[in-house]
């Protein structure tokens, strides 16, 4: 914080749009995900379950969304649109129950669900499993010789409980700011 100031909250409104954005952010740069999100938003006239369902997998693919991500977005939209997934109930449920409901959706793995709980539901003690930027930031801040693997990183993060979300935000901020990227 002394070097880069306080980190942004990176808050998102809970719901379909936040999850859609997280799916688009999987394994790509934030800039690439932002571009793809804008394409989808314009074509669907808003990122809503009905808009994504209307586009379909083919329409999403036509916008440059990869096949798997197009399928994941469409499945998520259909699940919400048909009532199979109630994101309000997920938010109100105990975290393990809500997480289980989200993890049952194809395309939402531990990292995606962790990010949703951190940025949309704003839970204070979430550590995004498998986040490479966090691993690189921990290596830099702790002056480690190598990037810690997922198990080591998870053990290190246990020391920051019950405020792992705060640690994640600080480390993401370090990662971006130290590379001259806007937070």
Give per-residue pLDDT as tens, 66-84: 999 999 999 999 999 899 9
45 domain residue, yes or no: yes
Q: What is the pLDDT of residue 164?
A: 98
pLDDT digits (tens, 9 = 90+) for 27-55: 888 889 999 999 999 999 999 999 999 99
Q: At what angle do helices 49-62 and 67-81 cross, to 10 degrees?
A: 160
Q: How far is CA 80 from CA 13, 50, 72, 92, 169, in A?
A: 16, 9, 12, 16, 29
Q: Which two tokens stand for residue 174?
A: 């370090």
The answer on 136 and 108 residing in a single domain is no
Q: What is the pTM of this model?
A: 0.92
pLDDT for the residue 58: 97
Domain boundaries, position 157: 132-178
Whether residues 53 and 73 fall in one domain: yes
Statement to judge: residues 54 and 113 lie in one domain: yes
Last residue of a domain, one of 120, 140, 156: 120
Residue 29: per-residue pLDDT: 84
Per-residue confidence (pLDDT) for residue 27, from 0 to 100: 87
Does residue 25 fall inside a structural domain? yes
How is residue 147 annotated by DSSP?
P
Number of domains in the chain: 2
Write out residues in the chain with pLDDT < 70, as ranges. Answer: 182-183
Of 120, 144, 160, the domain-final residue: 120
Predicted pLDDT of residue 182: 65
103 part of a folded domain: yes
In a domain, 142, yes or no: yes
């Amino acid at each position: 914080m002394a070097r880069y100031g306080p980190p942004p909250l990176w808050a998102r409104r809970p719901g379909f749009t936040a999850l859609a954005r997280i799916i688009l952010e999987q394994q790509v740069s934030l800039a690439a995900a932002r571009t793809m999100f804008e394409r989808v938003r314009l074509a669907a006239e808003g990122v809503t379950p009905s808009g994504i369902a209307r586009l379909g997998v083919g329409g999403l693919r036509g916008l440059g969304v990869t096949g798997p991500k197009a399928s994941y977005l469409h499945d998520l939209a259909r699940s919400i649109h048909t009532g199979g997934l109630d994101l309000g109930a997920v938010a109100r449920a105990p975290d393990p129950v809500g997480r289980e409901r989200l993890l049952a959706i194809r395309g939402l793995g531990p990292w995606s669900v962790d990010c949703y709980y951190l940025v949309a539901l704003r839970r204070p003690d979430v550590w995004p499993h498998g986040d490479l930027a966090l691993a690189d930031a921990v290596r830099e801040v702790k002056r480690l010789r190598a990037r810690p693997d997922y198990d080591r990183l998870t053990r290190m993060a246990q020391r920051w409980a019950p405020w792992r979300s705060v640690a994640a935000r600080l480390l993401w901020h370090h990662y971006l700011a130290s590379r001259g990227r806007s937070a």
